[in-house]
Amino acid sequence: MEKNQLSIIVPMHNGSDYIEECLNGILSQTVKNLEVILVDDCSTDDTLKKAERYPFRVISLKKRTRVSHARNYGAKNSRGKILIFVDADVVLPPDAIQRLISALSKPNTDAVSGIYYEDIPQDNFFSQFINLFVIFRYTKPPEFITFIFNCFCAIKREAFEAVGGYNENIAYYEDVEIGHKLTNKGFYCRLDPDIKVIHVKYYSHLSLLLGYFRKAVFGGAYYRDIGSLNALKDDTLPLSIKVASVSAMLMLISLVLAKISLLCFLLFLGVYSISLLPLLFYLIRTRNLIFALKSFFFCFEFFLVCQFGFIWGLLIGEKRWLIY
């Protein structure tokens, strides 16, 4: 492969706990001649100090921005015809880049994303749950998707530049936004579930709910701003999860009106339980029955938080910047 044809861009911000694992994974790649650019977004821990020990180009931004700006800045200062974005909390197996580039070489392919491994180093429930939930969501993606999975993806430079890169005005949902721009410009995006990386980020109960609440707010605001909810039909969230999520909200409403709506609560509980079965069976196969039962109850809380966030985003629209 021609030297500097591939440019890897890693945005960093306070990733001291995992940045060395990420960079060691890049060093171990079977593909050589990689241009690697690390963009530090004003870390206040020793992320930058650790990153500077590696034989990669390091760029330090002068003021705190957003991850979209860090990605764009890295792309602007790179030379590769193919841009590979790697999150700092992701560890690449040795053949990850090779698999990604092979997938990108297929006809009608301008961007390819990978997905997470089912096994991760964190053994707490919340880190395990969200990792498996994301994998379950993308187990059977359509041939073409309308988003980019930012954790590990490759985009042809011509396509990236044609849409102006990532939207630097938003803190979340930039992966969906750039996917829509690429699709609308006639480019093709794919997700290959066989291309897997290890997600090493730790989630506590609070950080998981808060993080996904914010993402849901930006999601609702995004769909309000584009003036249409029709784009929601293009996402890859399984219908069973959508039904379970709506049922959770209806269960809550029924609980508030329990004196006159107990029957409704039981009805929606039944729908919620049946709809969750595909996810629960998947969790039983990958973990165990106890983990699945715990997930049954946590999903109720998780879905409500996401739904309230999405509704808030729909209502406040452009004011979403206030929660960054």
The confidence score (pLDDT) of residue 212 equals: 94
With respect to residue 314, please indicate whether it lies within any of the assigned structural domains.
yes
User: Mean pLDDT, to the nearest integer, of 295-311?
Assistant: 96
The confidence score (pLDDT) of residue 178 equals: 95
Query: Are 28 and 141 in the same domain?
Result: yes
Residue that is last in its domain, among 153, 187, 203 = 203
The Cα–Cα gap between 38 and 198 comes to: 19
The confidence score (pLDDT) of residue 221 equals: 84
With respect to residue 279, please indicate whether it lies within any of the assigned structural domains.
yes
Find tokens 């399984």 and name the residue.
Answer: 238
With respect to residue 1, please indicate whether it lies within any of the assigned structural domains.
no
Query: Are 189 and 80 in the same domain?
Result: yes
With respect to residue 303, please indicate whether it lies within any of the assigned structural domains.
yes
Query: Are 15 and 129 in the same domain?
Result: yes
For 48, 273, 296, the CA distances from 300, given in Å and listed in that order, are: 39, 10, 7
With respect to residue 164, please indicate whether it lies within any of the assigned structural domains.
yes
> Percent of the chain, pLDDT > 90?
74
56 is in which domain, residue-wise?
A: 6-203
Higher-scoring residue by pLDDT: 116, 170: 116
The confidence score (pLDDT) of residue 94 equals: 97
The Cα–Cα gap between 121 and 66 comes to: 27
Alpha-helical segments (H) within 5-149:
19-27, 47-51, 67-76, 96-104, 125-137
User: Mean pLDDT, to the nearest integer, of 221-230?
Assistant: 70
User: Mean pLDDT, to the nearest integer, of 65-77?
Assistant: 94
Query: Are 160 and 246 in the same domain?
Result: no
The confidence score (pLDDT) of residue 323 equals: 40
For 83, 182, 240, 243, the CA distances from 21, given in Å and listed in that order, are: 21, 31, 36, 38
CATH number of residue 133's parent domain: 3.90.550.10
With respect to residue 224, please indicate whether it lies within any of the assigned structural domains.
no
The Cα–Cα gap between 244 and 219 comes to: 19
Query: Are 186 and 43 in the same domain?
Result: yes
Task: Tell me which H or E stretch contains 196.
Answer: strand 189-199
The confidence score (pLDDT) of residue 14 equals: 95
> Percent of the chain, pLDDT > 70?
92
Band of pLDDT at residue 254, cut at 50, 70 and 90:
confident
Query: Are 162 and 61 in the same domain?
Result: yes
The confidence score (pLDDT) of residue 17 equals: 94
Query: To the nearest whole number, what is the mean pLDDT of the chain?
Result: 91
Query: Are 253 and 315 in the same domain?
Result: yes
pLDDT in tens, 87-109: 999 999 999 999 999 999 999 99
Query: Are 42 and 142 in the same domain?
Result: yes
Residue that is last in its domain, among 203, 220, 247 = 203
What are 153's two structure tokens? 């993806």
The confidence score (pLDDT) of residue 1 equals: 44
The confidence score (pLDDT) of residue 237 equals: 82
The structural domain count of the chain equals 2
Higher-scoring residue by pLDDT: 8, 222: 8
User: Does the pLDDT at position 227 exceed 70?
Assistant: no
User: Mean pLDDT, to the nearest integer, of 113-138?
Assistant: 95
Query: Are 198 and 318 in the same domain?
Result: no
The confidence score (pLDDT) of residue 91 equals: 97
With respect to residue 25, please indicate whether it lies within any of the assigned structural domains.
yes
Query: Are 275 and 318 in the same domain?
Result: yes
pTM over 0.85: yes
- Cβ–Cβ < 8 Å for 13, 42: yes
User: Mean pLDDT, to the nearest integer, of 115-143?
Assistant: 94
The confidence score (pLDDT) of residue 3 equals: 46
Residue that is last in its domain, among 183, 203, 223 = 203
The Cα–Cα gap between 120 and 137 comes to: 17
With respect to residue 235, please indicate whether it lies within any of the assigned structural domains.
yes
Band of pLDDT at residue 230, cut at 50, 70 and 90:
low
Query: Are 71 and 196 in the same domain?
Result: yes
Query: Are 131 and 236 in the same domain?
Result: no
Band of pLDDT at residue 320, cut at 50, 70 and 90:
very low
The confidence score (pLDDT) of residue 79 equals: 94
